[in-house]
Amino acid sequence: MKPCEQVLLYAAGELKAQDKAAFEKHLKTCPACQAELKFLAKLDEGLTPPAVPERVITQLFARTTRKKSIWAQFKWELAGIAAAACGAFVWMYLPAHQAFNAHDLVAYMNISADDEYAAFAQELTDMEDYF
Ligand SMILES: [Zn+2]
């Protein structure tokens, strides 16, 4: 067997000690065998499934957990909407504004509340798509 034909056996660790020593001597002087061993090593790396880093698992878990607490993420937006609604409600019923056309105001508030809700719902949908 020519030395170059032993490269696969050498890579597989199947050469006897004597043959192995002889091949390693040959390997030092043979660029073709060196290249083939490098290639085989890369192939071996490619076939071995890489271990998933713990950091990645942690991040994935964090994302999953975050999705469940999506309402908590929007607490300031929700608080803002609630505060605006309360403010408008109080303002509408203050005696000084009794002259204001309450019916028109309620209609306007309903429209803007719908818009706000639509924007908010769209944000939620975007978030769902993102995750
Ligand atoms: Zn060789």
Pair (41, 104) in one structural domain: no
Q: In angstroms, what is the span from residue 29 Cα to ligand 1's centroid?
A: 8
Pair (69, 123) in one structural domain: yes
Give residue 42's pLDDT band: very low, low, confident or very high (50, 70, 90).
confident
What is the pLDDT averaged over residues 55-72?
64
Q: In angstroms, what is the span from residue 33 Cα to ligand 1's centroid?
A: 4
Q: In angstroms, what is the span from residue 27 Cα to ligand 1's centroid?
A: 6
Side chain identity at residue 16, one-letter code: K
Pair (59, 41) in one structural domain: no
Pair (83, 115) in one structural domain: yes
Q: Are 8 and 21 in contact (CB under 8 A)?
A: no
Q: Is the confidence at residue 96, as pLDDT, over 90? A: no
Q: In angstroms, what is the span from residue 69 Cα to ligand 1's centroid?
A: 62
pLDDT, tens only, 70-85: 666 667 777 777 777 7
What is the rounded CA–CA span in Å between residue 81 and residue 120?
10
What is the pLDDT averaged over residues 99-126?
69
Determine the structural domain holding residue 34 and report its residue range. Answer: 3-47
Q: In angstroms, what is the span from residue 49 Cα to ligand 1's centroid?
A: 30
If one compares 27 and 120, the residue with the highest pLDDT of the two is: 27
Pair (62, 40) in one structural domain: no
Q: Is the confidence at residue 56, as pLDDT, over 60? A: yes
Q: In angstroms, what is the span from residue 67 Cα to ligand 1's centroid?
A: 57
Q: In angstroms, what is the span from residue 8 Cα to ligand 1's centroid?
A: 11
The CA angle 110-111-112, to the nearest 5 degrees, is: 95
If one compares 42 and 26, the residue with the highest pLDDT of the two is: 26
pTM of the model: 0.36
Q: In angstroms, what is the span from residue 9 Cα to ligand 1's centroid?
A: 12
Pair (61, 35) in one structural domain: no
How far does Cα 128 stand from its chain's mean position? 13
What pLDDT does 19 receive?
Answer: 94
Q: Is the confidence at residue 22, as pLDDT, over 80? A: yes
* Domain count along the chain: 2
Q: In angstroms, what is the span from residue 24 Cα to ligand 1's centroid?
A: 10
Residue 56 corresponds to which tokens in the numbers above? Answer: 């990645």
What pLDDT does 101 receive?
Answer: 64
What is the pLDDT averaged over residues 100-121?
68
Q: Is the confidence at residue 91, as pLDDT, over 70? A: no
